[in-house]
Amino acid sequence: MSLRTPLIALALALFAAGAAQAQGLSRIDQRQAQQAQRISQGVASGQLTPRETQHLVAQQRHIARYERHARADGYLRAHERQHLRELQAHASRDIRWQKRDAQQRHWR
């Protein structure tokens, strides 16, 4: 088992947590930070396996990439904002499902 995936999740969570504390952050960014923290907590508690963590981190990167692309012209249009909300809702369901699916990380 590689430590790289949990470390990536932890770094993502720490970055997002620091960013969420900045004033004026949008609800989208705050939700991203909360989801990153939930992933990090799942890694720390052993609720997420390395493969699950890898999937959830990739999903968060996809959302962040879409947001950067959508904001490239300086603002978010209504349909872009709605699509981001849908992506985040799907990611939130995935995080909840993976943390509760009774698969545990096993230490050797």
**Rounded Cα gap, residues 80 and 42, in angstroms:** 29
For residue 81, give Cα distances in angstroms to 11, 60, 61, 76: 26, 16, 17, 6
Cβ-Cβ contacts under 8 Å for 91 (sequence gap 6 or more): 35, 56, 59, 60, 63
pTM: 0.74
pLDDT digits (tens, 9 = 90+) for 11-66: 666 566 555 444 455 888 899 999 999 999 999 988 999 999 999 999 999 999 99
In whole angstroms, give the CA distance from residue 67 to residue 65: 5
